Amino acid sequence: MLSLLDLRRRIDSGELSASDAIRQSLQAIGERDGALKAFASVDRSAVAGHGLLAGVALGVKDIIDTADLPTEMGCKAIYGSWRPRADAAIVSLAKMAGATVVGKTETTAFAFLDPAPTLNPHRADRTPGGSSSGSAAAVAAGLVPLAIGTQTGGSVIRPASFCGVAAIKPSFRLLPTVGLKTSAWTLDTLGLMAASVADCAYALEAISGREMRLPDDPGAPRFALARQRFAGDAAPEGEAALEKAARLAEKAGATVVEIDLPRPFADAWAIHGTVQNYEIRVSMAWEYLNRRADLPPRIGGLLDEAQSIRASDYDAVRGAARRARLAAKDFFAEHGVDAILTYSAPGAAPDRSTTGDPRFNKLLTLLGAPCVNVPGLVSGDSLPVGVQVVAPFGRDAQALRAAAWLERIVRA
């Protein structure tokens, strides 16, 4: 993988020019993306910018508007060659920080569950995960040092786990969603993927304008080990990764307390689907009414089913989300923990008939809490399996700190 911080150090020292860094990424894409299929479109004339992210080649998920490249939403039948007038806010912010958009990354259609064409760089018969499939694969394959994804259920943390890259899904609306194709407006969250947690922190600071950089010695965190049992069991390799991370963390001086998440969290987990599906039905009303036949099977089927969800069903369940957000505030203080440690995904990447299961991500998206995928662990057959570090809403720097500490331990 391309370390963003290492790249920046080499550019700052004059060893590498920002332009050469961009050219290297474009060349790598040209040579290797034909097989990987991480990119939906590439800007071969992209040039380097100026600022904290100068020389950083950026992949942008293809449900995010770009004025200079097509935005096809993973569904050429409806959005083939579609070219928005303006860049999404996140694209402008990244460019203002100096990043260079080298291409749009493949997404599942409308960021739902129909697989994208992208392969998992670790094994071609496995999914890279979804819906930010191309973003995770592009970083994992070393094509770019930074990519933008989005998560409504588990679409940043899950592909990051399957591809073995670091990722942060920040607090809800820390990154602006203006110019993103909306799935569910109370859930859709932009996220960043990079080679390491420290890379994510540097990029999040540069793009969001908030202080995120890590202290040299972050200090051992206090973790609540939470299995989210209401979401079902993890696969053996997911369980093994979580146990190994907890054991290594404890050995290195962290406090790790096993705590079951209390009732309001289970209730909120259970209603994520109603919130998501009702909002998707409203957001995609035009596509459903006018282009049903052009929708791939999973998003089409979801919309068929979602037509029967009434506004009153949706209104009735939203209290559970509110109560869980309040409970989350108390949870961290009450137990004196810095972060929750939980599964990023049930296990390693499954085969390509699916994009994997977001069941350990849905609650955390609904809470709006900052979540970090910590890479570095592998399954028995050498596939990446991440673990997830979660801090309270608004404490993104705290999530990154705990995750960076853990990453150092599990990679050691």
| Residues with catalytic roles | 61, 131, 155
- Sole window of 56-64, 79-87, 361-369, 382-390 interacting with a copy of itself (rule: CB under 8 A): 79-87
When binding is defined by CB under 8 A, the residue of 287, 338, 357, 407 that contacts a copy of itself is: 287
Contact present, 384 and 348 (Cβ < 8 Å): yes
Contact present, 167 and 193 (Cβ < 8 Å): yes
230 binds a copy of itself (CB under 8 A): no
Give the burial string for 21-34 (b: 16+ CB within 10 Å, else e): bbbbbbebbeeebe
When binding is defined by CB under 8 A, the residue of 3, 92, 354, 379 that contacts a copy of itself is: 92
Alpha-helical segments (H) within 224-349:
236-251, 263-283, 285-291, 297-306, 311-335
Q: Which one, 175 or 363, has the nearer CB to a copy of itself?
A: 175
- Sole window of 19-27, 227-235, 309-317, 352-360 interacting with a copy of itself (rule: CB under 8 A): 309-317
When binding is defined by CB under 8 A, the residue of 213, 247, 310, 322 that contacts a copy of itself is: 310
Closest CB 169 distance from a copy of itself, rounded Å:
18
Give the separation between CA 22 and CA 339, rounded to whole angstroms: 36
Closest CB 209 distance from a copy of itself, rounded Å:
4
86 binds a copy of itself (CB under 8 A): yes
Site string for a copy of itself, 254-283 (x = CB under 8 A): -------------------------x--xx
Q: Which one, 78 or 240, has the nearer CB to a copy of itself?
A: 78
Q: Which one, 299 or 341, has the nearer CB to a copy of itself?
A: 299
332 binds a copy of itself (CB under 8 A): no
**Rounded to 5, what percent of the chain is helix, strand, coil?**
45, 15, 40
Contact present, 407 and 166 (Cβ < 8 Å): yes
Q: How many alpha carbons fall within 13 Å on the CB side of residue 297?
A: 3
Closest CB 56 distance from a copy of itself, rounded Å:
18
In the three-class reduction of DSSP (H, G, I as helix; E, B as strand; rest coil), residue 124 is classed as: coil
How far CA 75 is from CA of 60, 80, 99, 273, in Å, comes to 16, 7, 27, 23
Give the burial string for 75-87 (b: 16+ CB within 10 Å, else e): beebbeeeebeeb
Q: Which one, 176 or 296, has the nearer CB to a copy of itself?
A: 176
When binding is defined by CB under 8 A, the residue of 33, 87, 114, 267 that contacts a copy of itself is: 87
Helix (H), strand (E) at residue 340: strand 339-343
The DSSP 8-state label assigned to residue 106 in this structure reads: P
Retrieve residue 389's tokens.
Answer: 């570090």
Give the separation between CA 226 and CA 81, rounded to whole angstroms: 44
Q: Which one, 186 or 354, has the nearer CB to a copy of itself?
A: 186
52 binds a copy of itself (CB under 8 A): no
**Site size with a copy of itself, rule: CB under 8 A:** 37
Give the separation between CA 388 and CA 279, rounded to whole angstroms: 26
Closest CB 5 distance from a copy of itself, rounded Å:
22
The DSSP 8-state label assigned to residue 180 in this structure reads: B
252 binds a copy of itself (CB under 8 A): no
In this structure, the strands spanning 387-390 and 339-343 are antiparallel
When binding is defined by CB under 8 A, the residue of 100, 108, 208, 355 that contacts a copy of itself is: 208
Site string for a copy of itself, 177-196 (x = CB under 8 A): xxx--x--xx----------
67 binds a copy of itself (CB under 8 A): yes
Retrieve residue 344's tokens.
Answer: 């990023």
- Sole window of 5-13, 208-216, 326-334, 341-349 interacting with a copy of itself (rule: CB under 8 A): 208-216
In this structure, the strands spanning 255-258 and 222-225 are parallel
Using CB under 8 A as the criterion, which residues of the chain lie in contact with a copy of itself when the complex forms? 67, 78-79, 82, 85-89, 91-93, 95-96, 173, 176-179, 182, 185-186, 208-210, 279, 282-283, 285-287, 289-290, 310-312, 315
